[in-house]
Structure 1
């Protein structure tokens, strides 16, 4: 966190904030005392970070106090509008890690019995698990101070600084080598970027401008996902993660991809009750190149996650350094998307005589391209997707989350299906693609052939581009001229009504010329795929009694040697042009024929 702050500068991207509506007989003094006690109980909340001897160090303030200022907005004509603006500005204010504090609290009074409370903590001092601890302890202290009772919280055996020292000592050469070896083996050669299709180009420097899209799965689908997890000896998180990996692979087109997932990293009893930054990011790499079924992918996800849990202690930033990944200001290293199923213990707000309601956060920041967080509830799995607004529109993320739900429903319906065939589209999109956008019926003149309709288009738009192949293209006029030239040559060798002409050329502009020329000459077009076996091509030529075969010289080895009237288009084009110039009056119908450039 400190390094990122130095690299990217001060921002609100790593701020954890709560905005609460407190309704009732609030004891402001008791709340202020409760915050003060928590700050004294947890050293990390009164820690700032200085540079000494060119190294960052934790500096703990032994006597830091915390004030809870209350701004009275009751006399304003629209206090709610004011408080919304003020709370957003306060939440977005960056922290000064070098001087502290890392915790801010502010309160606004909008009515006699109504207050708005904001408290914000920099991520360097707390994580998601810490919020449950803070809420539980704040409620306990407030109850004690507001009622005059006592509170007995279990004594903290260590502080965060103790953990930091222990972690460095524990990472001996042997432990560090074992963890590093695993992650290096797992991630060497991994793609540096998950290339999701974005609505806008990636900016040169991240701005962390975030948006949020809610996600809700109904109780039935949630129960089906849990049942599938049990039957496959997997956790619910593994099943959901596997579904998310399929979604990311289908969106990006990548079969080798890395997805980040946070882990609480509180695997020792001494740190379970500490506020602090313990969470670690796991970089999980998956391989879908062998077209696995969902069951097969889930087995891979189970193995990858279990291995990652066995090596979860290596800090993510140390891994990035050891892999010597290039730092780019336009994206995060190694992982740009995160998926998590939240299971950290939570505590309800319990303030006597005060009703507590959560309010939308004033922050609009996001740390990565895409972050999806889910949690289990009686009504089903719920959560949200945070996304970078510099890259994605809200409608794109809404559609992506709908596809995720469709995908999960298809997974529980048929987990044996290859992941590449699992449906993504909702019914409305399927109807749009298959019916609405496929409604291409057009009324054409019944007394004209295809080549005559083409000639009419030549008259309307002669200079418009008609056909493109790689770096070559023809306008309608150019294509028509060349087709006329070839058609005249075909007429000179006997092509007319009821005469079958084979066309065996690779995909190219010659294919378009040849098809039109055959029709203009009055013949019938017989398509011959040069990828077919020679025996198959011989049978087709003999069975159709093809009179003339149009092809290319380099395909001659694939064609029967006894085929009469074989024309190699890439060799005799100059002869065709000359012949058409000399015999242009042989009756071929062609728009703008007198204007054709035969060379």
Structure 2
């Protein structure tokens, strides 16, 4: 839990270091979003993409922030934490944030857990308020790493959020949903999200290093904010970790389009017969690749035939079941095809089962032989 009075503490180097140690000590792995495993030395060349949050969503976000008594800034921090959590597979998300009166970057931890969405929003607001008291801290990122539970030289985080407040008459963006692409910028972090809040509108700019697509990251942020405000309006107790960040179009592409792998095949043919036909068409093509090696269709067929002859000699034929107890490997594929070629049926067994349970299953299913 976060002490909502943390932000009232006076600034000293000792209590600031204690504050960051309390916030970061439970973080035991670096939060590296979007597969960017490290931050190379020197500056990175980035591309940028920007857009305006739809006015309807902007209004809903401001309404919920006012209802909860939290800042819109805290809702944007929570939305960004959702994106980083999904892309780093971390529940305790750490990223850099720039506070208004602080000229550098300070780390912040946001937990994407079973906590209800409304409570999570309040926790982020309290943490930002607490961070304000330590914004004069001469905290180097190496010290932040030492305050955490992350070992080694890996960076503690690789993403930033820069929340900027401005007056409405200072903004230069007038067209809703307007985008600007391919601007180049330099930074030490692979991913930076900037939010421009003029009190009436919200502009978002994403800077990302190749091969990341900044526009795609921006889409995730927009969806995260939509999911967040919808939960606050309708199901405030919903676990924040359950909120989706995939836009509808990408959700359809990932779950349906990429899984549309159905093809027509001869219904009256057995699997091993179809395999043998493929052997005739592409004997030298790669059929199996695994940790124990690569097999062409011809090599796989040869090994499966040899096993089939052995199994037949052991009495395997129609209506005989053969147990297969093996890790995923090319040998396992040989075993399955060999059993089918012999006329039997395979019974897969988990290699993690205790030997006593394996023996019990083998006796119960009457398996004619075991391959593994």
TM-score, structure 2 normalization: 0.76
Paired residue for 1:286, among 102, 105, 110? 110
Do the aligned partners of 1:293 and 1:415 also contact (CA within 8 Å) in 2?
yes
Aligned twin of 1:237: 73
The corresponding residue for 1:211 is 48
Q: Tell me the C-alpha RMSD between the 2 structures.
A: 3.8
- Paired residue for 1:444, among 262, 265, 272? 265
* Deviation at residue 245 of structure 1 after TM alignment: 0.5
Partner residue, 2:149: none
Work out whether residues 458 and 477 of structure 1, in 8 Å CA contact, stay in contact via their aligned partners in 2. yes
- Native 8 Å contact 2:326 2:351 kept in 1: yes
Aligned match of 2:150: none
Larger Rg: 1
Give me the whole-angstrom Cα distance separating, in 2, the residues matched to 1:246 and 1:179.
Answer: 26
| Alignment-derived partner of residue 261 in structure 1 | 97
How far has the Cα of 1:447 moved from its partner?
3.9
Larger relative contact order, structure 1 or 2 (CA cutoff 8 Å, min sep 6) = 2
List alignment gaps of at least 5 residues for structure 1: 1-171, 266-277, 326-331, 350-355, 552-568, 570-599
Deviation of residue 420 (structure 1)? 4.0
User: Which whole-Å CA distance do the structure 2 matches of 1:441 and 1:254 have between them?
Assistant: 34
The offset of 1:423, in angstroms, is 1.9
What is the alpha-carbon distance in structure 1 between the residues aligned to residue 164 and residue 132 of structure 2? 16
In structure 2, the partner of 1:20 is none
The match for 1:408 is 225
Q: What secondary structure sits across from 1:342 in the alignment?
A: strand
Q: Deviations over 1:125-179 (max 9, x none)?
A: xxxxxxxxxxxxxxxxxxxxxxxxxxxxxxxxxxxxxxxxxxxxxxx9x833232
Deviation at 1:255, TM superposition (A): 3.3
Local SS of the residue matching 2:300: helix
Do the aligned partners of 1:214 and 1:385 also contact (CA within 8 Å) in 2?
Answer: yes
Question: 2:332 aligned with 1:498, yes or no?
Answer: no
Question: What is the CA–CA distance in structure 2 between the aligned matches of 1:199 and 1:257, rounded to whole Å?
Answer: 15
Partners in 1 of 2:172 and 2:68 — Cα distance?
40
Please, which moves more after superposition, 534-543 or 224-233? 534-543
The structural deviation recorded for 1:524 is 1.9
Q: What SS does the aligned partner of 2:237 have?
A: coil
1:467 pairs, out of 288, 300, 308, with 288
Q: 1:478 to 1:357 in 2, by over 3 A?
A: closer
Give the 3 Å change call, closer, same or farther, for CA 451–293 of structure 1 in structure 2: farther
- TM-superposition CA deviations, 1:101-140 (whole Å, max 9, x none): xxxxxxxxxxxxxxxxxxxxxxxxxxxxxxxxxxxxxxxx
Paired residue secondary structure (1:197): helix
User: Contact 1:215/1:383 (CA < 8 Å) preserved in 2?
Assistant: yes
Question: For the structure 1 residues 323 and 235, does the alpha-carbon distance in structure 2 shift closer, same or farther, using more than 3 Å as the test?
Answer: closer
For residues 431 and 285 of structure 1, do their structure 2 counterparts lie closer, same or farther at Cα, with a shift above 3 Å needed? closer
Gap runs ≥5 in structure 2 = 1-9, 147-153, 175-179
Cα pair 2:168 2:198 within 8 Å, conserved: no
1:298 — aligned with what? 121
CA displacement at 1:457 relative to structure 2: 1.9
CA–CA separation in structure 1 for the residues paired with 2:317 and 2:134: 77
Distance 1:226 1:386 in 2: 21
